[in-house]
């Protein structure tokens, strides 16, 4: 399969590198140092105590490239549009666009570039870290969950599973992938968002009674919005799961906290903002999430 991976950060490199074992892979990134390193010395992935070197093609400019069978988007969500626009040559009439990015609602953008029946959305339980240019660590493996917005009439997801599994991943195909995406979203829109605003460790959220009240409000609003979208969740079970995540990671630092701490823009528009957009669509009141989105953007503006 001809696969283009846009974004050579930790996750893009892990997928791009391992998929290059049995596929024609193009790894795309705007950082010339990363691309040059991969072109000259290959892509190094530390895993299970060893370092393996992979050799996907690496490019900054794809304007002369032919379309891929599959394009996987692995940039931060706020860069998704520019990433797709700058790599339109990779997207043809038969190309599938796939996102495993954090948050929800990415399909709305992807549908601007391909037909709805060629959009694949999902989540990944893999994790990793960048060690150096062209060198990443695969910190843990897990399931790659995928699904489509429409019926998979061509059986593409079966081919995708076979392709990914043969390269060291574990793909599970879901008929209702949105349920899984929202299930993962609960922690991000409550616990993670609050750690960013308050600039605290993950353990603080469940330990402080006032912060936990705020967290419960955000969970409740998300439950109501999901229900309006036809996705039913047990609120107490969700709250317990979020609390355990907080208590089991007392000194954990979320990406949104790190972004705000270090003066970077965040992915709040595809996390808390995804709840706000869905709530407007279904006429659900979510004042807590609206406040979170505005406050995070205000914090970004401090420079």
pLDDT profile of the chain (303 residues), mean per 10: 96 96 97 97 94 97 97 94 97 96 91 96 90 92 92 95 96 94 94 97 97 98 97 97 95 93 94 96 97 97 77
Q: How would you class 219 by CB atoms within 10 Å of its CB: exposed for 0-12, middle for 13-18, buried for 19 or more? A: buried
Q: What is the reported pTM?
A: 0.86
Q: Hey, what domains does the chain have and what are their CATH numbers?
A: 2-175 (3.40.50.720), 178-300 (1.10.1040.10)
What does the pLDDT read at residue 262? 93
What does the pLDDT read at residue 116? 96
What gap in Å lies between CA 46 and CA 127, rounded to an integer?
12
What does the pLDDT read at residue 177? 94
What gap in Å lies between CA 123 and CA 106, rounded to an integer?
12
What's the gap between Cα 67 and its chain centre? 23
What does the pLDDT read at residue 174? 94
Q: How would you class 276 by CB atoms within 10 Å of its CB: exposed for 0-12, middle for 13-18, buried for 19 or more? A: buried
What does the pLDDT read at residue 303? 63
């Amino acid at each position: 399969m001809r696969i283009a991976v846009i974004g050579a950060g930790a996750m893009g490199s892990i997928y791009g590198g391992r998929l290059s074992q049995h596929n024609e892979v193009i790894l795309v990134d705007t950082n010339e140092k990363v691309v040059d390193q991969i072109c000259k010395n290959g892509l190094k992935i530390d895993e299970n105590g060893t370092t393996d070197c992979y050799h996907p093609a690496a490019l900054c400019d794809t304007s002369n490239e032919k379309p891929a069978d599959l394009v996987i988007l692995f940039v931060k969500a706020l860069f998704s549009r520019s990433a797709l626009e700058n790599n339109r040559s990779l997207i043809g009439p038969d190309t599938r666009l796939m996102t495993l990015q954090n948050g929800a609602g990415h399909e709305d953008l992807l549908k601007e570039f391909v037909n709805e029946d060629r959009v694949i959305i999902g989540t990944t339980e893999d994790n990793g870290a960048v060690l150096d240019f062209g060198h990443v660590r695969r910190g843990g493996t897990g399931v790659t969950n995928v699904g489509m917005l429409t019926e998979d009439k061509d059986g593409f997801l079966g081919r995708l599973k076979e392709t990914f599994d043969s390269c060291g991943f574990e793909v599970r195909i879901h008929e209702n992938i949105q349920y899984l995406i929202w299930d993962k979203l609960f922690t991000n829109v409550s616990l993670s968002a609050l750690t960013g605003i308050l600039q605290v460790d993950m353990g603080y959220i469940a330990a402080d009674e006032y912060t936990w009240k705020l967290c419960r409000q955000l969970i409740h609003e998300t439950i109501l919005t999901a229900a309006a979208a036809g996705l039913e969740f047990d609120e107490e079970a969700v709250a317990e799961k979020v609390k355990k995540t907080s208590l089991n990671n007392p000194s954990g630092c979320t990406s949104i906290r790190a972004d705000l701490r270090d003066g970077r823009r965040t992915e709040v528009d595809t996390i808390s903002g995804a709840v706000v957009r869905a709530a407007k669509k279904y006429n659900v009141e979510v004042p807590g999430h609206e406040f979170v989105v505005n406050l995070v953007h205000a914090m970004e503006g401090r420079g």
